[in-house]
């Protein structure tokens, strides 16, 4: 016997299953509510400030570590420049989404990402074999904006 039909009617003296009390509709509604509460935790609001900011700090550390590498040349010639700029866009798109998740403010997330991009380029200025470039700050900021917009689009799709 299925678990939703295991209750027993008090009117029959406990001998007849009470299957009419658990409708399929009620079961499906409960299942939908349960799965909505437990699915896609990355799009939900973090439960604590630590849970909100730890991914931001960790990702910023990853960006900092890449910036400390003296040369990231892939040896692919002209493709090297394109790949490095795409890497900038991608890493800052992730940072922008994480900042939006932590701050819940698109404008604040974008400003913080732009400030971090500026500090990152200043950091690269002091790394041998690297140089800071204002164009990279712009590319990073566009990447962050893309991440923020993508996060908002996913969040909108997620809400019924």
Using one digit for the tens of pLDDT, what is the confidence trace for 33-79? 555 444 333 455 667 888 899 999 999 999 999 888 887 666 777 78
**Structure tokens, 121:** 């380029």
* Helical residues (DSSP H) of the chain, grouped into ranges: 24-38, 49-67, 78-103, 106-125, 134-158
Tell me what pLDDT residue 58 has: 96
Burial degree of 17 (CB within 10 A; 0-12, 13-18, 19+)? middle
pTM for the whole thing? Answer: 0.69
What are the CA-CA distances from residue 4 to residues 30, 31, 48, 80 (Å)? 12, 12, 36, 60
Residue 148 has pLDDT above 90, yes or no: yes
**Structure tokens, 49:** 């400030």
Tell me what pLDDT residue 9 has: 53
């Amino acid at each position: 016997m299925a678990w939703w039909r295991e209750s027993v009617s008090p009117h029959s003296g406990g001998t007849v299953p009470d299957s009419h009390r658990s409708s399929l509709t009620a079961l499906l509604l409960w299942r939908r509510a349960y799965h909505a509460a437990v699915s896609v935790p990355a799009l939900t609001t973090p439960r604590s400030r630590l849970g909100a900011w730890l991914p931001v700090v960790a990702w910023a550390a990853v960006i900092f570590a890449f910036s400390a590498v003296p040369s990231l040349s892939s040896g692919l010639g002209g493709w090297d420049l394109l790949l490095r700029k795409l890497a900038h866009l991608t890493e800052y798109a992730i940072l922008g989404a994480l900042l939006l998740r932590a701050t819940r403010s698109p404008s604040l997330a974008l400003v913080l990402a732009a400030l971090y991009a500026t500090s990152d380029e200043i950091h690269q200025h002091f790394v041998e074999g690297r140089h800071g470039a204002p164009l990279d700050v712009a590319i990073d900021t566009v990447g962050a904006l893309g991440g923020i917009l993508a996060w908002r689009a996913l969040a909108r799709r997620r809400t019924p």
